[in-house]
Structure formats: structure tokens, C-alpha cells
Amino acid sequence: MTKERIGFIGVGLMGHGMAGNLVDKGWPLTVMAHRSRDAVEDLKTRGAKEALTPRELAEQSDVVILCVTGSPQVQAVIQGPDGLAAAGKSLLIIDCSTSDPSVTVRLAEELALSGITFIDAPLSRTPADAKAGTLDVMVGGEPDVVERVEPVLRAFAGRVVHTGPAGTGHTMKLLNNFLSMGYAALYSEALALGSKAGLSAQTFDSVIRGGRMDCGFYQTFFKYVLERDRNAHKFTLNNALKDLTYLNSFANAVGLVNPVGAATRNSFALAVNAGRGEDYVPMLSDVVAEFNGISGNSVSFQHSADGLKE
């Protein structure tokens, strides 16, 4: 079976691993730098071609995957000057970004008028999973379109879930991130409170790990807390705040009272407004500790008995 030509925009933390799997598994790939030049050069050595504009990339592709920051960037890449739509051809666009569901639905309707199919396929898991080809993907689109793109998605995904029509993938992604960022906020406050009471992070972990409250997200979060591995969960506080802001906007649009969502967002807003936006999510534990007068960072939780600091 002849593989479709794939275009890829946004080869950053997640996109680099995804695009690498595609080219390594034989998909004809054209990439365009969004922010990461080094990733583009690496992919070119592995067989990918490079386009300089979205329009040029669209002209060389049957399917285009977007893995950019959010809805404003998606709209700019598609509808801006020299955007994907400017190629004036039939195209299938897969938005793997975490975007505003209302924008996704509107884009799908508008682009259909010009022969472009637009679906959402946001991601779960980490850049390490992207590289390993074991991401979870939530796909919003018509069944026949999802069937068409599933072999493409399987190049970098271990699990593909069809959530419903366009927009439902992004909705589910926001709910998924609400749960994970909610955990991050809870862990951070619990660690700070435990530190005030003289409980170390190791003691906390010895109770939680292997119990009913353990999970994959807990383990990557605590790989940073206990081992100070900055790369344990490479998702920035800026991106977390963006996703939680989308969630709150969605809740307002449907008339939902969401006190927990608002509180979770405020935890991340605190960190971002403190200048920590480019730190990764587990480092929220440091920010909460510092705002509560716990000196140093969360490594102090490990050594509260002797006061050892990093």
C-alpha cells in the first residue's frame, strides 16, 4: 500500500519524536520549523524534506499534522499569509495541539467549504513516549476520516481513541489535562503541608507509591521531587496554564460552575506570574514550597531532619 505524503509543523518536545517515528517507519515526510531548528536538521538527516512556508508544505503533502502551542498558532498556520489553506487544494489537517474546542469546531466547518478536512487528535503522555511511539491519541472526526488516518497515528501512538465528531478530541484532552494538573496542584500543596509537619518527601512517597493513589503521572512528578530529574515530565507551567484557561473558558461557555478547575488554574497562574512559566510541571512543588516560606526547593523535603539543601 502506498503511504500518503505527510507534512508536519511543530517539531518541538512532542513533535520531534512523532515526526521521527513517521520518517523512520517509511512515511514520506516534509517538515517546517515552528521553533526548533535542531529538530528539523535531525529529521532531514533521517530522510525528511523541509518546506519554508505552510503553503509550500501543503503543496507537497496529502495529510498535514500540526503540533503547535494552541488555537492562535493553529489558525495562523492554516489561515495566515502563505498558510496551508492558501495552497488551494484538497487536504486533510490533523491538529495534535491542545486547542480550544470551540475554535476547532468552527475551523472544521469553515475549512470544509474549501475542500479541507480538519480533525483534532490531541495527545497524552510525554516526549519520551512520543519518541518511543507509545502516545495516547484522542481523535475527533468522522469515522471514515479517522479510519483513513489511523495508520498515520499508529506510527507514534500506542493507543488511538475515537472520541466523536470534530472538537471532542480537544474537549477530552482538556479534561485529561485538568485531571493531571489537578493532581500536580494537590501533590504540591500536600508536600508543602507535610514539610511543615516534619514529613519528608520519601515518607510521603513510601505511603503513596504502590497504593491506590499511585499512577503514571504521580511517578513522573515524583521522579523530579525525589531525584531532581528536570526532564522527568517536560511540560511547561506556561502550557499547563494555557490548557487550564481553555478549560475554564469552555466551562463558562456551557454554563458549568467549576470551582476546582478555577482553583487549579490559580495554582499555575501563581507560578507563571512568579516568573516560572518555562519550568516544568513538577517544579510547581518548588513554587508552592517557596510561597509558604519553605526555604530552598522541594529537595528540602527529602532532608528535613538535617536541613541539607541542594
Active site residues: 173
188: nearest Cα among 149, 142, 153, 233: 233
Degrees (nearest 5) of the Cα angle 299, 182, 194? Answer: 35
Cell of 94: 490533523
Quote helix, strand, coil % in the chain, to nearest 5. 55, 15, 35
73: nearest Cα among 92, 99, 108, 91: 99
d(Cα 206, Cα 199) in Å, to the nearest integer? 11
Q: 111-146 as b/e, with b when 16 or more CB fall inside 10 Å?
A: beeeebbbbbbbbbbbbbbbbebbbbbbbbbeeebb
**Grid cell 530552598 in the structure block, residue:** 296
